[in-house]
Amino acid sequence: MKKNPSRRSFLKKATLGSAAMTSVPFLISASEGEKVLMKRNYPDEHYTANDQINLGLIGSGIQGIYDTRAALSVSGVKLVAACDLYSGRLDRAKELWGDDIFVTRDYRKLLNRKDIDAVIVATPDHWHKKIAVDALKAGKHVYCEKPMVQRWQDGQEIISTQKSTGKICQIGSQGMSSLGNEKAKQLYEDGAIGEIVMLDFYNDRYSAEGAWQYPIPPDASPDSVDFDTFLGNAPKVPYELKRFFRWRNYQDYGTGVAGDLFVHAFSTLNHVISSHGPNRALATGGLRYWNDGRDVPDVSITLYDYPKTDTHAAFNAAFRINFIAGSGGGGGFKLIGTEGELEVGQNSVTVRRSKLGMVPGGYSLVAYTEATQEKIRQGYAAQNLETRDSALNTGSTTWEAPRNYKGGHHDHFYNFFTAVRGKGKVIQDPTFGLRAAGAALLANESYYKKTPVDWDPVSMKSM
């Protein structure tokens, strides 16, 4: 990637002719709302039973099921085993994927099976490091849900274990491999928005489910739920179903809004601009509405500083989460630059370029006499600061994935299994995963300490 992407390089590529147009659709004087489709071709692959990848699922809850569905949408993959600490989820796994799959409450029994090539780790956050390390050492390839770790200090063990075992480890921020991220990265590197100055990310929710108040099944009991094993290395507390089924609400097991939501944004941001991450965070917020026993905030605002690097200017990032958004909810991810704005989603990317006003108007001229105003206008006109070309280089263009696009979640697993077959590298390895998780977890550290915190994005350590 070239240093300091600028409009000049972007406009040059946009006018080189048909060869360049395939990668950089015409943007100069683009009409408002213009659509340009992005495409991704998948090879027509067929695998025999001997060539398929046998998959084990560890943590058959909400995300585990969605992960497995996405994994099985990739050719040549079969689920052969599932593990969970609630027996009802094991019944659900058989209901979804057949009575012949092996089920257990003990993930070690799953790892001991010789017929399993890879595992999905979709457990509560405080179990990620332990199970991922054990799985790699057992000779399994690992797809570990984000955030990679509950504490940034645990990340290096996963990195070193992956390197020593030689097994593939993909961190599961499911939008990472999407067409949206791919296009956004290309547009940024081509200089579509000039120098980045700000990232604006927000996620508003307005439902109990969105605030992690997940339903508790009526058959849950000490017999059907292994609560003691669930606690793991967390503090010992009396049996409580809310902690088991709504674990995201507790610091002991989850990572709050930062680990659940910020980490997705950091994964995309660091990928698009080829960055190691921020070096400072300042967080605030509070528990404003969902007083259900949780000890994590439901409203959170965190400001991050990104230092200047070879791939981007110094800039600031604002991350905002509101779980009681009376507006009804919504979300956004925008890279704002000196010459435009890049709005990124998994299935679409929009570039908006506006005219930068360089000539004073009536607001500031009102303080001068009519004669002085005319002299000021003539002086600016002589500088030719607002050319016709600059006015034409504005507008809005949207790239959208085709309707038959299989989606970012499929693509992330496709990337994982392609690497497992030795045909490429994962897009989100443990080092990348720790940089995304570490940056997100800074928000928690700052919030609870009530002070700004510093981070070394290269060595991945809090300072």
pLDDT in tens, 313-338: 999 999 999 999 999 999 999 999 99
Q: How confident is the model at residue 247 (pLDDT cuts 50, 70, 90)?
A: very high
Q: Is 398 exposed, middle or buried (0-12, 13-18, 19+ CB in 10 A)?
A: middle
pLDDT digits (tens, 9 = 90+) for 387-424: 766 665 788 999 999 888 999 999 999 999 999 999 99
Residue 166 to residue 155: CA distance in whole angstroms: 17
Q: If you average pLDDT over residues 263-281, what whole number do you get?
A: 97
Rounded average pLDDT over 425-450: 97
Q: Pairing mode, if any, of strands 169-172 and 315-322? A: unpaired
Look at residue 21 and tell me whether its pLDDT is greater than 90: no
Residue 158 to residue 20: CA distance in whole angstroms: 41
Q: How large is the average pLDDT for residues 266-288?
A: 97
Asked if residue 12 has pLDDT above 70, the reply is no
Q: What is the pLDDT of residue 25?
A: 31
Q: Is residue 444 within 8 Å of 437, Cβ to Cβ?
A: no
- Which amino acid, one-letter code, is at 89? R
- Range 417-446 average pLDDT: 97
Averaged pLDDT for residues 103-132 = 98
Is pLDDT above 90 for 301? Answer: yes
Burial 243-252 (b: 16+ CB within 10 A, else e): bbbbbbbbeb
Residue 44's pLDDT is 79
* Neighbouring-strand partners of residue 204: 322, 330
Please answer whether residues 336 and 199 qualify as being in contact, where contact means their C-beta atoms are separated by less than 8 angstroms.
yes
Question: For the segment 204-241, what is each residue's pLDDT rounded down to a tens digit?
Answer: 999 999 999 999 999 999 999 999 999 999 999 999 99
Mean pLDDT of the chain: 91
Q: Which of 41-50, 68-77, 186-195, 386-395 has the lowest mean pLDDT?
A: 386-395
- Per-residue pLDDT tens over the stretch 146-167: 999 999 999 999 999 999 999 9
Instruction: In whole angstroms, give the CA distance from residue 152 to residue 209.
Output: 28
d(CA 57, CA 84): 9
Secondary structure letter of residue 310 according to DSSP? S
Average pLDDT, stretch 89-116?
Answer: 98
Q: Does residue 436 have a pLDDT over 70?
A: yes
In percent, the amount of the chain with pLDDT more than 90 equals: 83
Which pLDDT belongs to residue 33?
A: 57
Which one has a higher pLDDT value, 26 or 449? 449
Q: Which two tokens stand for residue 45?
A: 């692959």
pLDDT above 50 (res 448): yes
- Domain 7-37+179-216+244-405+431-462 is in which class? alpha beta
7: pLDDT strictly greater than 70: no
Predicted local distance difference test score (pLDDT) of residue 389: 64
CA distances to 2, 52, 78 from 49, in Å: 45, 5, 9
Q: Which CATH class is domain 53-172?
A: alpha beta
Are 179 and 401 contacting, i.e. CB atoms less than 8 angstroms apart? yes
Tell whether pTM > 0.85: yes
Three-state SS annotation for 224-280: CECHHHHHCCCCCCCCCHHHHHCHHHCCCCCCHHHHHHHHHHHHHHHHHCCCCCCCE
> What's residue 31's pLDDT?
44
Q: What is the pLDDT of residues 336-361, one digit of tens each?
A: 999 999 999 999 999 999 888 888 98
Domain boundaries, the chain: 7-37+179-216+244-405+431-462, 53-172
Q: How does residue 32 score in pLDDT terms, banded at 50, 70 and 90?
A: low
pLDDT range class, residue 120, cuts 50, 70, 90: very high
What pLDDT sits at residue 30? 38
Asked whether the beta carbons of 353 and 234 are under 8 A apart, the reply is: no
Cα–Cα distance for residue pair 56/92, rounded to 1 Å? 15
CA distance 56 to 78: 9
